[in-house]
Amino acid sequence: MKKILAVTGCPTGIAHTYMAEEALKSAAQKAGIEIKVETNGAGGIDNAITDADIVNAIGVIIAADKDVNPDRFNGLPVIEVPVKDGIHKAAALIEKIMSGTVPFRKGAQNSTNNTVLSNQVEAKESIGRQIYKHLMSGVSNMLPFVVAGGVLIALSFLWGIYSADPNNDQYNEFAALLMKIGGQAFGIMVPIFTGFIAYSIGGKPGMVAGFVGGLIANITGAGFLGGIIAGFAAGYLMFFTKKMLDRLPRSFEGLKSIFIMPLIGVFVIGAGMFLLGGPIASINNGMKSFLESLQSANPVLLGIVIGAMCSFDFGGPVNKAAYVTGTILLGEGNFYFMAGVSAACIVPPFVIAFSTTIFRSKAFTEEERAAGLVNYVLGSTHITEGAIPFAAKDPLRVIPIMMLSSAIASVLTFICQIQVPAPHGGFLVLPLVNKPFLWVGCIFIGSLVGAILLGLIRIDQNRQLAAKKSI
C-alpha cells in the first residue's frame, strides 16, 4: 500500500522530534493517508524506514534540524524543512506531498525506487539551511557528553569544592573519581562536536579529520570557535577530496578510504589548526573576558540578553547559542553564567503551568489545562520545548511574554550571584546549587510575571471572541 514517509529529528532529540512525529501522524490521519514516521531522538533511531517502505512511498517529509541520512531518499519526492515546520505546518506538508508537485531529491536515484519520471526536478536546500543542519548535527551528538560529564563533575562538589584535590582536607576518593570521569567526558565535547559536524558533511573520512581538528582546538585553546572552523573545514575538505579521488579505478577504493583520505584530512586540518589555534584562542579569550566582565559590571544587561535568547525560539538555534556559551564558560569554571542560562530555559514551561493553574477556566480550555500540568514536569527538568504549543498559537504575544519572563529570572540570578555547576537537569541538580532556594525563587518570580500577563491576555481574547459571537 502506498504511503507517506517522514523523518523527524532535533538537536537534543528530546521534545521537538516527538512533537513533530505526533503532529504529522495526526495530520495524516485527518487526511485519510497512511504515514510512517522515523524518529531520530536522543536514544537513537526508532521506527526506522526500510527499503520496502521506500518502494511503496509516494513522498517523504524530512522535518529535521540535523543529519538524518537523506540520501537514501534520492529519486523520491522529498520535502526538507526545519523540525518546527513539522510541528506547526504538518497538515500543509501532508497536503503538499499529496498534490504531486513536490520536487524529486537530487542525486543518484535510489535503487529500490523503480519510478523514473522524464520531468524530474531537483530539490535544493539553501546554503544557510545546510550549514545549520551540519552545525546542529555536532550539537546533537555533543550534548550527551556535556550533560553526563557536567553532572558528574557537579556531583563531586557535594563533598566540597576541593573534594577532588588530594592535598586538601575536603578530599574524598569517590568525589575525585567522579571528577576524573566527568572531566574526561566533558573534555572531549569539542572533538565530538567538531567530528560530527565534519561527518555530517564528508562522512567517515570527515569525522576522522574533524575529531583530530577538535583535539588540537582543545590543546591550543581555540575551543568551540576553533572546533566550528575545524569541523566545516574537515567536512568540506573530505567532501571535495572524495570527488577528486572518485576518478581512480575501483581497485583503489580500499586504499582511498583507509589510507589516502584520512592521511590528507588529518595532516591538512591538523597543520591548519596548529597554525590558527593561537589567533582563534585570542578571539575566544576576548569574548570570554567580555562576557565575564559584563556579568560583574552589568548583570542586568547580560540577564536581559541571555533571557531573551533562551526564550526566543524554545530550544532552537538562538537558544542553543546561549546554552553552548554557558557550557563553554562552565568548562572554564564559571558557574554563574550557567545559572542564568538554566533559569531562563526553565521559565517558559513554568509560565504555562502557572498561568493555566491560576486562571484555569477563565482563560484556558480543558486540553490546555492538561498540557499545563505536564509543563510542571517539563519545567522542573529543564525542557523548554513544553511551551511551544502555546507559543505557536499566538507567537506575537506569547513569545515576548516568555522573553520578558526569562530575562527577569536570569537578571535576578546574576544579581544574587547564584552558581549552578551542572549544564542540565533543572531542579534535579538543586543539591549542587550554591543558593538553591533563592535560585528557585528567581525562576518562580519570572514565571509568575509571565503567567499573569499570559492569563490577562487570554481573558481579554476570550472576551473579544465572545463579543463577536454575540453580534
218, 275 in Cβ contact below 8 A? no
Instruction: With CA atoms as reference, report the closest residue to 6 among 52, 58, 43, 44.
Output: 58
Helix, strand and coil in the chain, % to nearest 5? 70, 5, 20
Return d(Cα 291, Cα 285) in angstroms, integer.
Answer: 10
- 57-64 vs 78-81, strand pairing mode: parallel
Residues sharing a CB contact under 8 Å with residue 104, sequence separation 6 or more, in sequence order: 75, 76, 77, 78, 117, 120, 121, 122, 123
320, 11 in Cβ contact below 8 A? yes
In 144-234, the DSSP E strands lie at none
> In this structure, what C-alpha cell is assigned to residue 431?
543539591
Return d(Cα 392, Cα 128) in angstroms, integer.
Answer: 24
Which superfamily is assigned to 3-125 in CATH? Response regulator (3.40.50.2300)
Residue 10 is a catalytic residue: yes
Q: Phi and psi for 37 in degrees, rounded to 5?
A: -115, 120
Instruction: With CA atoms as reference, report the closest residue to 331 among 463, 445, 193, 446.
Output: 193
> Concatenated DSSP letters for 285-351?
HHHHHHHHHHHHH-HHHHHHHHHHHHHHSSSSHHHHHHHHHHHHHHHTT-HHHHHHHHHHHHHHHHH
Report the b/e string of 226-240 with b at 16+ CB within 10 A: bbbbbbbbbbebbee
354, 451 in Cβ contact below 8 A? yes
Q: What is the pLDDT of residue 133?
A: 80
Global model pTM greater than 0.85: no
208, 244 in Cβ contact below 8 A? no
Return d(Cα 40, Cα 45) in angstroms, integer.
Answer: 5
Return d(Cα 165, Cα 269) in angstroms, integer.
Answer: 36
Return d(Cα 299, Cα 306) in angstroms, integer.
Answer: 10
SS (H, E, C) 239-262: HHHHHHHCCCCHHHHHHHHHHHHH
Q: Phi and psi for 103 in degrees, rounded to 5?
A: -65, 150
Only one residue has cell 530555559, namely 345
Tell me the torsion sign for CA atoms 170, 176, 182, 188: positive
List, in sequence order, every residue forming a beta bridge with 78; answer none if it has no partner: 60
Which residue in the list 10, 310, 345, 442 is annotated as catalytic?
10
> In this structure, what C-alpha cell is assigned to residue 181?
570521569
CA distances from 35 to 24, 58, 466 (A): 8, 10, 38
Instruction: With CA atoms as reference, report the closest residue to 150 among 424, 459, 345, 454.
Output: 424
List, in sequence order, every residue forming a beta bridge with 321; answer none if it has no partner: none
For each of the chain's 471 residues, which pLDDT tens digit applies? 578 999 998 776 667 788 888 889 999 888 888 999 999 876 678 888 988 888 888 899 999 887 788 888 888 899 988 888 888 888 999 999 988 888 888 754 444 444 433 344 445 566 777 887 888 788 778 777 877 777 787 778 778 767 888 888 888 889 899 888 988 887 888 899 899 999 989 888 889 999 999 999 888 888 778 888 999 999 999 999 988 887 777 777 677 878 888 899 999 999 999 999 888 888 877 766 776 676 666 778 888 888 888 887 666 667 667 777 777 777 667 788 888 888 988 898 899 899 988 888 777 777 777 777 878 887 887 777 667 677 767 778 888 999 999 999 999 998 998 988 877 777 877 887 888 999 999 999 999 999 999 889 888 877 877 777 666
> In this structure, what C-alpha cell is assigned to residue 251?
581497485
Domain boundaries, the chain: 3-125, 129-287, 299-470
Up-side HSE of residue 346: CA atoms within 13 Å toward CB?
A: 32
CA distances from 458 to 19, 34, 362 (A): 24, 36, 8
> In this structure, what C-alpha cell is assigned to residue 126?
539553501
Q: What is the pLDDT of residue 195?
A: 93
Return d(Cα 41, Cα 36) in angstroms, integer.
Answer: 16
- Residue 355 buriedness (CB in 10 A; 0-12 / 13-18 / 19+): buried
Q: Give start and end residues of each alpha helix (H) in 63-126.
A: 83-88, 90-99
